[in-house]
Amino acid sequence: MRVIGGIGVMVAVALALVGCSLVAAPDPDCPPVDEGGECFVPTEQGFLDHALESAGAWPQLDGISLVPQGVIEGFDEAANQPTWIVPMVADGSVVAASRFLALDDRVRLGEVVLYQPPRQSFPTPGDGERLVISPALGRECVDPVPDDCLFAEHLWRLEPAP
């Protein structure tokens, strides 16, 4: 696991790479992703369930009631493909977020982030907008966390939907 930052900073991790399923033989069409994770058909409930499970892996969130705040469909500029982001809320603040990547007709967990301190707001596209993430390219998304950072190595912006 890779942890960025220190006490009081945004902590992010690209999850450890292991098989797509711990019970079945690895699916050759499903590259390794996260411990206990798998590739899945994209459904709203699938995103919410996987986001809740991935955020729950952070020991800092043990015993905290997490509520997924819906699925934000976005666009990953570097990969030139859709991405889906699920922010997790506890006590009115965004404490974590999971990002999912497209894999043909399925998706997989790509990254999970823990926000320390929690964020008071999260970028949500309005009508006619889309959320776009792009590489931070040398920018540090650590304490103090710039508002345009969403993940350890990704910035965000809202732009008109195509």
Instruction: Point out which residues pair with 105 in neighbouring strands.
Output: none
The arithmetic mean of pLDDT across residues 151-160, rounded, is: 89
Boundaries of domain holding 24 = 11-160
144 cis-preceded (ω within 30 degrees of 0): yes
In a domain, 6, yes or no: no
Point out the least confidently predicted range of 55-59, 74-78, 140-144. 140-144
Indicate the length of the chain as a whole number.
Answer: 162
In a domain, 48, yes or no: yes
Read off the pLDDT of residues 96-109 as tens digits, 9 standing for 90 and up: 999 999 988 889 89
Instruction: Point out which residues pair with 82 in neighbouring strands.
Output: 75
Residue 24's contacts (CB-CB under 8 Å, 6 or more residues apart) are none
In a domain, 111, yes or no: yes
User: What is the structure's pLDDT at 37?
Assistant: 55
Q: What is the dihedral angle through the alpha carbons of 141, 114, 36, 103, rounded to the nearest 10 degrees?
A: -40
In a domain, 2, yes or no: no
In a domain, 118, yes or no: yes
Gap between the Cα atoms of 55 and 88, Å rounded: 8
In a domain, 59, yes or no: yes
In a domain, 3, yes or no: no
Point out the least confidently predicted range of 40-44, 45-49, 64-68, 134-138. 134-138
Read off the pLDDT of residues 30-47 as tens digits, 9 standing for 90 and up: 444 444 457 888 999 999
In a domain, 41, yes or no: yes
Nearest partner of 64 among 30, 93, 33, judged by Cα: 93
What domain count does the chain have? 1
Q: What region does 79 belong to: left with phi over 0, alpha with psi -120 to 50, or beta? A: alpha
User: What is the structure's pLDDT at 45?
Assistant: 93
